[in-house]
Structure 1
Amino acid sequence: MKTTKHTALTLAGSAFLLASLCLPATGQAARMDMVDVSNNNGYMSTAEYTSMRNEYGVKAVTVKISEGQTYRDPDAASNIANVQAAGMYINGYHFARYTTKAQAIAEADFAGRTAKAAGLPVGAVLATDVESQEANNQSKATNDRNNAAFMKEIQKFGYRTDIYTSGSWANSKMTVKSKTGWIASYPYVVTGKNWYSTNHAWQWSSTAKFRISYGGFDVSQLNSNYYTAGQKSTVKPTNKGAVKANNKKANKHTYKKSASSKWVKEKKTYTLKTAVKLHTSTSTSSNVITILPAGATVKTDQAIIKSGYRWVRQPRSYGYGYLVTGPTSNTLKYVKSGATHTYYTVKSGDSWWTIAQRNGLSMTTLASQNEKSIYTTIYPGQRLEVR
């Protein structure tokens, strides 16, 4: 999960849904059955979720609820409401930081209360997202004990539970039994193998694109109906041709292996286009030192391509900080060289035309420098670069 990352048994009587959840034969394309989102994706409207449903076949959305014992995702409530308004199945996940059984129970209580307050319906899945450095430092037995305590406590709130983790951690860092689990593993070539078919879900990409939504998204194929059980939904794509075409396009994406995964010198100063997490290591699941705001400048000394991302290293008073600049293509998606930039917060009634006119730009230029098109819908609260 973005992380970054990054997290129901009766299907509302739809024969279409039952058929679409059948496992694909070897060689067929992976499906975009489920998307997980958090505040890292920004505000997500009902229109965006409806587009995911109608044009891409997305059935379920899993929303970040909380992290540790204090962090509440600020967009959880709006995401839950807008997903439901789009007629899709809704679930939640909690980013785990626990290292003891007592902490696991405390985090579960916090996650359960937060989920209730945000409007997550009873019967939804509230998964534990176990990919932190804290979990990496624990033994398999300790992680198993802590995960079991978390999930037992979550059930007291009326939610069903599951474990989200990486394929390399499943059954090595923690036990993930058959007919349970949501596993993240990104192959270089998606088509050709049905991964983790005995688990509930397989997250096969963290960079999926949707037509009217900005940025890359985590997408998963559902190998059971666990994440769509026990909820009412009107999920039924209205453009099956688009679903087929868009899924085919998504599967064409491959993660290119870098010729070298060694650190290289890169002494540069960047200005952030968006807020970016500064990590303790080159892993999206590592601890976050701080969140650098849009407009902040970052001086780097080295860069590396690792695990599908391009990372840069920032020397600090004590050690180093690491941040993702983009995918392995080396395109600096989140940072931009040069002077500090000016941002505008979209207000109700604004349009591409009014914002462009106000700042002496053409609509095309304004949209382009924000990596959007003039046909992309903008919403109050969004930040756009205008200088």
Structure 2
Amino acid sequence: MATLFLGLNANAARMDMVDVSNNNGYMSAAEYVSMRNEFGVKAVTVKISEGGTYKDPYAASNIANVQAAGLYVNGYHFARYATKAQAIAEADFAGQTAKAAGLPVGAVLATDVESQEANNQSKATNDRNNAAFMKEIQKFGYRADVYTSGSWANNKMTIKGKTGWIAAYPYVVSGKNWYSSNHAWQWSSTAKFRISYGGFDVSQLNSDYYTAGQKSKVKPTNKAAVKANNQKANKNTSKLVASAKWVKETKTYTLKTAVKLHTGASTSSSVITTLPAGTTVKTDQVIIQGGYRWARQPRFNGYGYLATGPASNTLEYVKSGATHTYYTVKYGDSWWTIAQRNGLSMTTLASQNGKSIYTTIYPGQRLVVR
């Protein structure tokens, strides 16, 4: 989806809030300052944890650098719970991890509910589990909320008005203020910022819940960049495209967990089999629909379909086969020059090669840059 920031076109969405995780790599305070000054970002929500054991390795640096940039900081936990007891345990783990990472008391610590575990539960069970998580997280001094997809809201779980952070990605972001009765609407996972590499999740805030009631005075200073992005993304504003399309994607995935293989790209379709963790799956097409990113697997007697992640287009349940782009170091190169040439930070470039920025590199050496 084309990216935009709206400060000039009142009919499109705003980049009020950005959420970041280890997928974005190390983010400097300068990058957050650019988001604030050039694009009007008011708040950043940082991934803290997932399930009962995973701690995001960039949580502490993200929290510190967001605060250094003068932006309001929140956190989120990717939920894996299926029972009330698990929800309480994950809330305790998330709260303790957030405290250790420096998330300030009074910030929002949302539960991100979009996993296969939640999909397997009834609406009543998810409501009970979410309520238990949010009640427990408040014991740490954090404010609570639920993040989920638009297709799950009030379907897989109850999201009342004046609560909730909802994800829904229209092809054309204009003509409608989506989820205006909820706290926030996440409208893209591919937004670009001038000095930051890769795509970002961005949300429009429909209340001041994620800025703790503070009235932000942030206004974009680089209006030319805002206008250019805005015009590019709003070439067609006549209608929203509701129908999803299959896209060619020939890849090999290795499953991180057991995944059901369906007869169609829908959770309501029949299950062919359950593929165990470690299974290698070759796919030929993908589609975003029904709250999931579905991949099609050619089989000897037709096709099988598996959900490779939520509709945010992340590969939550599978990991891609190793395919990298390499760069051969030349005389005079440095970590800085190679990183700049490939749109990376020095820290990210070094870490993805198992090194630090203080490691000496030599002409002829091959480095992973993608």
Distance 1:171 1:288, change over 3 A: farther
Retained in 2: the 8 A contact 1:87–1:234? no
Q: For residue 201 of structure 1, what is the aligned residue in structure 2?
A: 184
CA distance in structure 1 between the aligned counterparts of 2:142 and 2:328, rounded to whole angstroms: 40
Matched residue of 1:74: which SS?
coil
Task: Select 2:67's aligned residue among 80, 84, 88.
Answer: 84
Matched residue of 2:104: which SS?
coil
Retained in 2: the 8 A contact 1:314–1:322? no
1:303 aligns with 2:285: yes
Matched residue of 1:102: which SS?
helix
Once the two structures are TM-superposed, the CA of residue 56 in structure 1 deviates from its matched residue by 1.4
Distance 1:242 1:144, change over 3 A: same
Matched residue of 2:136: which SS?
helix
Residues 228-250 of structure 1, C-alpha deviations (whole Å, 9 max, x = no match): 11679884433344344434544
* Aligned positions, number: 320
Matched residue of 1:174: which SS?
coil
| Counterpart amino acid of residue 286 in structure 2 | I
Once the two structures are TM-superposed, the CA of residue 305 in structure 1 deviates from its matched residue by 3.0
Q: Matches of residues 307-326 of structure 1 in structure 2 within 5 Å?
A: 307=289, 311=295, 313=297
Residues 317-343 of structure 1, C-alpha deviations (whole Å, 9 max, x = no match): xx998768xx99xxxxx9899x87547
Q: For residue 380 of structure 1, what is the aligned residue in structure 2?
A: 347
Retained in 1: the 8 A contact 2:172–2:236? yes
CA distance in structure 1 between the aligned counterparts of 2:20 and 2:121, rounded to whole angstroms: 27
Q: For residue 17 of structure 1, what is the aligned residue in structure 2?
A: none
Report the identity percentage: 68
Q: Matches of residues 74-223 of structure 1 in structure 2 within 5 Å?
A: 74-223=57-206
TM-score by length of 1: 0.69
Q: For residue 351 of structure 1, what is the aligned residue in structure 2?
A: 336
Retained in 1: the 8 A contact 2:32–2:65? yes
Matched residue of 1:62: which SS?
strand
CA distance in structure 2 between the aligned counterparts of 1:38 and 1:243, rounded to whole angstroms: 24
Distance 1:122 1:378, change over 3 A: same
Structure 1 moving runs of 4+ over 6 Å: 231-234, 253-259, 275-279, 287-292, 319-322, 334-337
| Counterpart amino acid of residue 238 in structure 1 | T
| Counterpart amino acid of residue 280 in structure 1 | V
| Counterpart amino acid of residue 185 in structure 1 | A
Q: For residue 52 of structure 1, what is the aligned residue in structure 2?
A: 35
CA distance in structure 2 between the aligned counterparts of 1:279 and 1:253, rounded to whole angstroms: 41
Distance 1:248 1:107, change over 3 A: farther
Residues 243-297 of structure 1, C-alpha deviations (whole Å, 9 max, x = no match): 44434544559997888539x8x8x677x9xx997883789xxx998899xxxxx
Retained in 2: the 8 A contact 1:342–1:386? yes
Matched residue of 1:152: which SS?
helix
Give the aligned CA root-mean-square deviation in angstroms: 4.3
Residues 346-379 of structure 1, C-alpha deviations (whole Å, 9 max, x = no match): xxx7222xx49xxxxxx8xxx3xxxx4xxx4632
Once the two structures are TM-superposed, the CA of residue 138 in structure 1 deviates from its matched residue by 0.8
Matched residue of 1:63: which SS?
strand
Once the two structures are TM-superposed, the CA of residue 306 in structure 1 deviates from its matched residue by 3.1
Matched residue of 2:67: which SS?
helix
1:28 aligns with 2:28: no
Structure 1 unaligned segments of length 5 or more: list them.
1-19, 293-297, 329-333, 357-362
Matched residue of 2:197: which SS?
strand
| Counterpart amino acid of residue 40 in structure 2 | G
CA distance in structure 2 between the aligned counterparts of 1:169 and 1:50, rounded to whole angstroms: 34
